[in-house]
Amino acid sequence: MDIFKYEALGEMEKDLIRDVYLTLHAIMFRVAKKITGDHTDAEDAVSNAFIKIIRYISKIRQLDDERKTAYCIGIVKNEAINILRKRGQKVSLDEIKDNIDYSGFYIEEWLVQKQEFQILKQYIKELSAPERRLIHLRLEQDLMFQDIGILMDISAETAKKRYQRIVKKLRQRYERRAK
């Protein structure tokens, strides 16, 4: 049901979900792993959290960055706790609260990463329509070059070369900006 909800979302909501994923995924994973103590359980907690984020994206969109971060971390904490409870493990909320060291989340790095993502997003918007489509099919739809070739009526090798050129163009533009 939630996957269908994602497909029904507008581009602004999908962009927000991508933004949340790219900027908060690592933080959310660290929080979940700290709570569950297990890599696989932490991944499950983050996945479940993103399903809820998709469900509540209209509420999240209204929050400023600080509250958005707190809200998403709260969701992943609850999901990690739920995983432990389903296993019959006793969960002490005070112990969890005391064991999470938020100083390791490097808020400054997160802000820089978010700014860089916005710059890259702008560069992608400035690409030609066929270039944007190829990037979308490869990165967002996660299609193989063979499938992209079929959809774009080109060979798989041509799709791969075009993709490599686009990535090189974006990288060069980004590096020029950094100098």
Return d(Cα 24, Cα 29) in angstroms, integer.
8
Residue 114 confidence (pLDDT): 65
Residue 157 confidence (pLDDT): 95
pTM of this structure: 0.52
Q: What would the pLDDT profile of 132-150 be if each residue is shown by its tens digit? A: 889 888 877 667 888 888 8
Structure tokens at 76: 């992943």
Positions of the chain with pLDDT under 70: 1-7, 91-114, 141-142, 178-179
Q: What would the pLDDT profile of 27-46 be if each residue is shown by its tens digit? A: 888 888 888 888 999 999 99
Question: Please, which residues have CB within 8 angstroms of residue 101's CB and are 6 or more apart in sequence?
Answer: 34
Q: Residue 83 is part of which domain span?
A: 2-104
> Do the domain assignments include residue 135?
yes
Task: Looking at the structure, tell me whether residues 97 and 158 fall in a common domain.
Answer: no
Task: Looking at the structure, tell me whether residues 92 and 137 fall in a common domain.
Answer: no
> Do the domain assignments include residue 76?
yes
Task: Looking at the structure, tell me whether residues 94 and 55 fall in a common domain.
Answer: yes
Q: What angle do CA 65, 2, 60 make, to 5 degrees?
A: 15
Domains contained in the chain, number: 2
Q: Are 79 and 49 in contact (CB under 8 A)?
A: yes
Return d(Cα 43, Cα 29) in angstroms, integer.
7
Residue 98 confidence (pLDDT): 44
Task: Looking at the structure, tell me whether residues 82 and 142 fall in a common domain.
Answer: no
> Do the domain assignments include residue 70?
yes
